[in-house]
Amino acid sequence: MAHAGTLHIGGLSKQYQVKGQPLPVLDDITLTVAPGEFVSIVGSSGCGKSTLLRLIVGLENDYQGEVLLDGQRIVGTSLDRGIVFQEHRLFPWLTVEQNIALGLLNAKFTESEKSRSVREHIALVGLAGFESAYPHQLSGGMSQRVAIARALVNRPEVLLLDEPFGALDALTRAHLQQELHRIWRAEGITMILVTHDVEEAVFLGEKVVVMEPRPGRIRRIVPVELAYPRDRVGAPFARIKEDVLAEFAGEAPSPRLRTPRNDDFDSGYDLPNGLRFAV
Amino acid sequence: MLPKALRGWVLPIVIVVLWWAAVRFGWSNSPLLIAPGKVWQTAVEQFASGKLFAALGASLWRDLAGFAIGASAGLLFGALLGASRLAEKLLGPSFHTLKQISLFAWIPLLSVWFGLGDAAKVAFLSLAAFFPVVLNTFEGIRSVPSDLLEVGRVLRFSRAQVWRKVILPAASPSIFAGIHLGLIYAWLATLGGEYLLVSGQGIGNTMVDGREHFWMDLVLFGVIVVGLVGFGLNWVASRIEARALAWRGRSVAQF
């Protein structure tokens, strides 16, 4: 089992330059993720949640504040941090097996360890028998499993998931959520899932970080104190879900009361309690 | 219904039958109208005397030599333009200007530099192969999906690994298309070169010969041979392409 590290984000801000003007995307994000924890991040489009993941994985390097893994400042990408994107991003000219092996290209394993690890991870994501299939022969759900295996095959300390199931149909999504939970249990690594599906966030996360947009800030961190496996239709689950949804609607009392702004079209609507965002 | 494989033969057979009928029933008495049988006799004669192989061999040798030179130079130059923004800025404008010049406009210059022999012809048709290969290689490298390059960054690929594992495979459909076009252009230019730089041997010279002596059968025979060779080259290139790019799946590889 891979040992996981503590991820600490302190006072993190990030801005892009748009036509010479600084456009803040993230503002003063502070968040600590314990080793082996599962954290969900929810927020509407434009709240900078994907940017946050890109900063943690090291694809963006220009920021203020700190992002530390095991006390080490994150600079550039590393095999200790894996990521699964919303699109599977598999290499269409490689088979399932070769795509996963690509993750190990620069790993310090022997050849036999590599091929064993690839085999194990194909089994882990439930794709035994599809080793020599090409991406165009796979369904969306299967492709995303391959992408998860490719990210895990290095045994990273942290796995980042950027809306990995966003493009899948509801049944496949529900199934892969359970699979992801099983994998998290089996691997014992830290996982950070970015999603705009509140149910997904509550189903999987030990805590749910609710973000608000323009600039991206943490609105509230909702602990999910429910035992796994979680029952999606039970009353306690529904209560937490509503609690999170209320944050979106801006109705719950919050230490950080927001002021409505006219240019903020994402938050301009007052949604009734329990209504799901369709973004 | 005809079996699929035979459908392509319908049109040529209809044309030959009409041609035969035109001669047989005297629809025209122009000396340009030659009986199919006469062309066949010429074909047999060219075949048996070995003249065909001498001419075709000379043409094909030049074609492949010029194609090899032009395509490899094109691959290198296209890769350089694609890989380096600086190279694109420095060399791109000159290249895009040169490629606007009709290929045949090079002939006077080439004949002054290289004479009328094989050297000039090979230079001419390597130019013909060069331009499509450069353009497609450049395009292919520039349109490598940035999503996949990002995966390479996440997995800590070295520069060489990025080229070997991401850029070249991703650009390969476009590169193959360029090579394929280069092969066809080179064959077209082989004939053009033989026609305009008249000296030596070649299937183009055979046709020039036929025209000068008003042997329409020989001219028509030449046209058919040139067409068949072009068809053959295209077929070989398509097969290689389909095999190398099988990962794209049926929907794309077999349109």
Q: Where are the domains of chain A?
A: 7-80+157-249, 90-155
Residues of A in contact with B253 (CB under 8 A): none
- How far apart CA B12 and CA B7 sit, in angstroms, is 10
CB environment A171-198: b (16+ within 10 A), e (fewer): ebbbebbebbbebbeebebbbbbbbbbb
- How far apart CA B189 and CA B105 sit, in angstroms, is 12
The residue in chain A having the minimum alpha-carbon distance to the alpha carbon of residue B157 is: A106
User: What pLDDT is stored for residue A103 in this prediction?
Assistant: 87
Residues of B in contact with A106 (CB under 8 A): 155-158, 161
User: What pLDDT is stored for residue A160 in this prediction?
Assistant: 93
Residues of A in contact with B157 (CB under 8 A): 105-106
Band (B75; pLDDT cuts 50, 70, 90): very high
Reduce the DSSP state of residue A80 to 3 states and report it: coil
The beta strand positions in chain A, using DSSP E, are 7-18, 21-33, 38-42, 64-69, 72-73, 81-84, 158-162, 190-195, 207-212, 217-223
- How much is the average pLDDT of A186-202? 88
Taking an 8 Å cut-off on Cβ atoms, the answer to whether B165 and A105 are in contact is yes
Q: Per CB distance under 8 Å, which residues of B are interface residues toward A? A: 147-148, 150-151, 153-158, 161, 165-166, 169-170, 172, 247-249, 251
- Tell which CATH architecture fits domain B50-245: Orthogonal Bundle (1.10)
- How much is the average pLDDT of A52-63? 88
User: What pLDDT is stored for residue A14 in this prediction?
Assistant: 86
Taking an 8 Å cut-off on Cβ atoms, the answer to whether A91 and B165 are in contact is yes
Q: Tell me, what's the ipTM?
A: 0.78
pLDDT(A268) > 80? no
pLDDT(A267) > 50? no
Nearest to B155 among A87, A105, A134 (CB): A105
Taking an 8 Å cut-off on Cβ atoms, the answer to whether B147 and A136 are in contact is no
Band (A262; pLDDT cuts 50, 70, 90): very low
pTM of the shown model:
0.77
Reduce the DSSP state of residue A153 to 3 states and report it: coil
Helix extents (H) in chain B: 10-24, 36-49, 51-83, 85-98, 106-114, 118-142, 146-154, 159-161, 168-196, 203-212, 216-244, 250-253
Taking an 8 Å cut-off on Cβ atoms, the answer to whether A93 and B157 are in contact is no
User: What pLDDT is stored for residue A279 in this prediction?
Assistant: 40
Nearest to A59 among B150, B157, B161 (CB): B150
Residues of B in contact with A91 (CB under 8 A): 148, 151, 165-166, 169-170
User: What pLDDT is stored for residue B253 in this prediction?
Assistant: 40
Query: Among A190-199, A254-263, B198-207, B218-227, which is the least confidently predicted range?
Result: A254-263
State the SS3 of B188-201: HHHHHHHHHCCCCC
User: What pLDDT is stored for residue B232 in this prediction?
Assistant: 92
pLDDT(B70) > 90? yes
B162 DSSP 8-state letter? I
User: What pLDDT is stored for residue B215 in this prediction?
Assistant: 87
Residues of A in contact with B247 (CB under 8 A): 92-94, 134, 136
Taking an 8 Å cut-off on Cβ atoms, the answer to whether B247 and A134 are in contact is yes
Strand order in the sheet with A207-212: A81-84, A158-162, A190-195, A38-42, A207-212, A217-223
pLDDT tens per residue across span A132-145: 889 988 888 889 88
Selected residue with higher pLDDT from A73 and B183: B183
User: What pLDDT is stored for residue A255 in this prediction?
Assistant: 46
What CATH superfamily is the domain A7-80+157-249?
P-loop containing nucleotide triphosphate hydrolases (3.40.50.300)
Q: Per CB distance under 8 Å, which residues of A are interface residues toward B? A: 57-59, 77-79, 82-83, 85, 87, 89, 91-94, 102-103, 105-106, 134, 136-137
Residues of B in contact with A105 (CB under 8 A): 155, 157, 161, 165
Band (B76; pLDDT cuts 50, 70, 90): very high
pLDDT(A259) > 60? no
Selected residue with higher pLDDT from A161 and A168: A161
* A159 to chain B, closest Cα gap in Å: 12
Band (A220; pLDDT cuts 50, 70, 90): confident
Nearest to A102 among B147, B150, B165 (CB): B165
pLDDT(A258) > 50? no
User: What pLDDT is stored for residue B185 in this prediction?
Assistant: 92
- How much is the average pLDDT of B30-42? 84
- How far apart CA A268 and CA A250 sit, in angstroms, is 10
Residues of B in contact with A82 (CB under 8 A): 154
User: What pLDDT is stored for residue B138 in this prediction?
Assistant: 94
pLDDT(B74) > 50? yes
Taking an 8 Å cut-off on Cβ atoms, the answer to whether B155 and A137 are in contact is no
- How much is the average pLDDT of A145-165? 89
Nearest to A77 among B153, B165, B170 (CB): B153
Report the share of chain A in percent with pLDDT over 70. Answer: 88
Return the closest-CA partner of residue A198 out of A31, A38, A34, A44.
A44
pLDDT(B6) > 60? yes
pLDDT(A271) > 80? no
Query: Among A79-93, A143-157, B174-188, B197-211, which is the least confidently predicted range?
Result: B197-211
User: What pLDDT is stored for residue A278 in this prediction?
Assistant: 46
- How far apart CA B169 and CA B141 sit, in angstroms, is 10
Taking an 8 Å cut-off on Cβ atoms, the answer to whether B156 and A57 are in contact is no
* A131 to chain B, closest Cα gap in Å: 14
Taking an 8 Å cut-off on Cβ atoms, the answer to whether B156 and A79 are in contact is yes
Band (B127; pLDDT cuts 50, 70, 90): very high
Taking an 8 Å cut-off on Cβ atoms, the answer to whether B157 and A106 are in contact is yes
Taking an 8 Å cut-off on Cβ atoms, the answer to whether B156 and A85 are in contact is no
- How much is the average pLDDT of A200-220? 86
Separation of first and last alpha carbons in chain B: 22
Average pLDDT of chain A, as a whole number = 82
Reduce the DSSP state of residue B19 to 3 states and report it: helix
pLDDT(A215) > 70? yes
A78 DSSP 8-state letter? -
Between A and B, how many residue pairs show a Cβ–Cβ distance under 8 A?
52
Residues of B in contact with A85 (CB under 8 A): 147
* A103 to chain B, closest Cα gap in Å: 6
Place of tokens 């199934």: A175
Domain map of chain B by residue range?
50-245
Strand partners, A14: A26
